[in-house]
Structure 1
């Protein structure tokens, strides 16, 4: 019976094993099918990802090519303006087209196309046909098979400037080419660049953006730009072999991404098949294994001590979540022996109140979730706690959570310092008015300030951490109208925004491998440069006008010389007339005055009737007055012609002043005017002409007597005034208005306020006085007030300036 029962049990076990193997085979088949589906999906995803990468890189390359071509066209638009200005200035100044052409180094030839000039025959036939087509259709920039053509208009004349296409080749890399096409009905355009790329251009229609691979697996990226919406199309092509370091690396990366999950799934299938034969019974541990376990325990204990020294500790929570067991660095930080138990309700003395409460709450939640992760500050040290629920059922019956505690205090301190430094850097950048952006070593955006976003009109969708440098440049190029590299520094460039602002962009690598982009607004500088160019153009026009005016100026000079000669002849005639008048008028006047004075004094006896004596007196006064007028006019004429000379010598200034007063005192007495001389005893001697000083004082006192009413007063004062002596004549006459003072010292001028005095005169007295005092190196001053009086002061130098120079 026992044997049969055993046999039945064995048969039953075999049936169960067969069914288990059948179920395992079915599971393996299903798993194999799912593996195939998974691999197919993975291949599709990798293919889409690869195609997306190729497309994105092509878009970046096309954006770069478009920016380059637009910058090139903008540069030639600017050169067209420069050529036009040069032609305008040159032709206005009388220069020839050849002379203007020689001053512009980049231009091979300039010729007139409308109306066509003889220099047009110097170029090749196709270039001439293209130039005629441009003139007929109003196209400013075109191209033939050998030249780039720029049309400039000066007035109603159109000029064509040719620039050889081979000059453009120096700016193109070896793997790029340019194609210029003029549209339907226009002559054939030209190409420049690599011959292999131009050959590919001839086989393609590149009037649209495209990317393709040839049979040698070389990628061609092309894009086209129209010049100002006109017929001129400029297409640029860039080639790049796929199997470069970057392309090969991408293939290897995608291969690893494909092979890694494949190998993992195949390994899983192999492991499952190896277990189809059933599990082997576990062997009892041998004596050798027990020895090994003891060694492992000892090694684990040593590892615990090592962990304490390097800042790592272990901890565990019992099954009932009542106590905490600590070891390693955590136990060392709490001043406990490794393996010490701490009740969870007594953690506060070790952890602190707040940290103990957080830890207990985290343990309660972690016991439910099966995992725990967090950081606590324990006694000034930061520990990062990580724990899991034990996977072994035996251990799980005794421990709720077990894990490690890592001392991260140094890391936290470093992080805080880095955050503080980063915050200071951010605050400095954000407060900086210049646009700034910071990139990592892979040229991905790390930080930017608000001025950077505002300057280039970038929104939050574009500006985000991790965006590549190329994408930001593409977005910036949308708002850029003109972009060019500076001539002296290759990493710097100047950009003109569409709103008219100019920025100078500089990119510099830092010592840490980062890259810093700094932009500065140079709009004011560019505006000043533009203003300078405009002023330079105006100056050139003025110079041209001046040169045209030189002929007129020479004619005016000739006429001026003729008029000057006439004036000199007239002056000589006036001098001769005055000389004759001096002789012809003074001689009879002297006789008239002499004989009339004899009649008045009745030298040879009485005249008889008293009326004869009165008539003789009138004749004498009139003759003397006329002689004085003639003398004044002659003296003034001498002064104006520069023929009046003075003979200076050391004199006492009081002597000529006193002599003048004695000569004219009789006139003052006739009007009952008090005339007095006031002077100090220490008046300096002066270098002067005795006669001229007496004449000046006589003129001033005579004027004062004329315009002072009866019973008035005239005071003549002589005093020292530093390096001058002053002679002032002060009267109590009618005075002079402020409006008349500036013109009184001019010849033949008289004050309007003095007309009521009814005195005749030439108005030369003050003019002669001022001229004489200036001949002495002195000066003349008038101060007057109506109905109060007038003071005229002469300042004569003590020593003549010429003598000062000789003494020096």
Structure 2
């Protein structure tokens, strides 16, 4: 019989054959177009998913960088406020402690000869008028304009790189404002102004690289922080995904092309030849083998079946070709044979079936999926169930593992003793445990898909007390009819789902109620005692009146002392400021050199008087119970070293040697950095004052049991033993130790002793006339209220 296109039959047969061939071509072209479109959509979907994931990660990193930047700015303003509130002069505040490179008042910065200070001051004034605190100079310096509660506007300047975290490899960090700064990989494309205006964005740059950008706002800043990151357009994962999609599309495409060519070979020009087994078409077999797809058919009523080579390989048989239908069924695991037989028997035309069964050759380890449908063969007059088979072992195993993981998770949650519920992004119930159902008595309404509002309404029937936490709106205290108390916490996840879980706080609530009852009883007992001692009330009243008078007198004295100190300090600041300008000859020489000496004497006297006023003000605060310290975990060597560096110039001018000795690996303690530094300064000032030129002062920081000791030892004049008890009291000085008098108010040791006791420590003094003095204060290594403020009463 001649092949397709070579028929010698009738013209009408040729026309019919050509028409059928054209129809097959059209179907083939349409199929290839659909497969091509599917491939494009899969690639585009994968690309979009990757873009969305990259942008999500980038937004998270940008938020983290912005949060770190905000924390550094807040820490600088908090430290600056603390220093100014404690009475420290702006010029004496350590820029390293604040975390900036320069620190000036607004007026000083405006009058500075340094153009950077002038630009910073002008920018700070502009920021203040706009209600902002942070700005950026053209040279990349950050400007912090801060208005403290005490004093005038402060202008701080710091290189932006000191406050910004390096963005990492292939990333770029940009600050946008009237000025801009870029840090990181210069090859990364900076974000456009449109992206910055939107807050976050994503775009591609060039043909080989793409750039993603995320921007966040900085609190109180005149600029935004943007993070740009680039990555190759084609990564290994993307190439593997593309190759996998191509293989998935190529397999059915090759199968369709093979079927088309097979039909052309088997279709004569005049009549349709008797169908032959699919295995006779070499190209179709090749396409099926490449796609790992096998073919099979079962002839209904004849007891015959046929498989190709790929099917034989998947079933573990030695040869392909014809076999009995029972033999075909026996190729599969015994536990699934009846199910497969029923599926074949129930097959109908135009109704495809799909069934997954394990093969017998692999003892059930290899799973195969059979897809087929019934067709009618007019030549034999019988029905043929024909289809394909392919390996789905990995898919089945993945489903089993997923089901096993879900089962373990459900088992763990079900055995969880506290109520638990999981809601989807639309607040519909997904999963809950038995405790949730029984504790809140919602058995009649809980089911998958029920809304959160419905369950909450049903829950209210079993709740007699309900109170939302003022600190956390997501936490609610529930009192149940059973007498139990449950703290219900609801938290949203990153995926939009909602988790509800409860904590049994019945014992805590009962203890609180018991405590309230005891307090009421105690109050009643106190009232009863007061009534029984009515005859003593008059004495108590008079005592309270006298006590109040004494307290008012002490308060008046302290208030007068504090007000007087403030009134004296205000003109002294002006005197010292203008004296410093004259000493530095900021606006030109003074002329006669004696004027400069006089002005230097004025500045020295003013600073000395200001120090005494500050000491008097601190003593007044302590006596009035208003002195506050802010203990935080610190390395005690830091404030000690800072005090030594501040006093070293004074010691060198007098010719006194100062040494610092500190033990290794000292533990951190809870202490106020400023108070410790002030204590060390007070002790060093006294040591320098009473030590002659050529003397030596040693500062030792050592561990002593549960305390760390800071000892200041000098080789000065010493103090007689009988005068030691008078020291460390306000305004007490030992004038008899030398024939000459020394400047000072006698408040240094008193302040140091008060600060040490406020930290939970103590002060000790040891001295011998002619040999020197050692003053030590001890601070505890640990404390029960870490990080909290302490007040002296």
Taking structure 2 as the reference length, the TM-score comes to 0.39
Which structure has the larger Rg? 1
Higher relative contact order (CA 8 A, sep 6+): 2
User: Higher helix share goes to which structure?
Assistant: 1
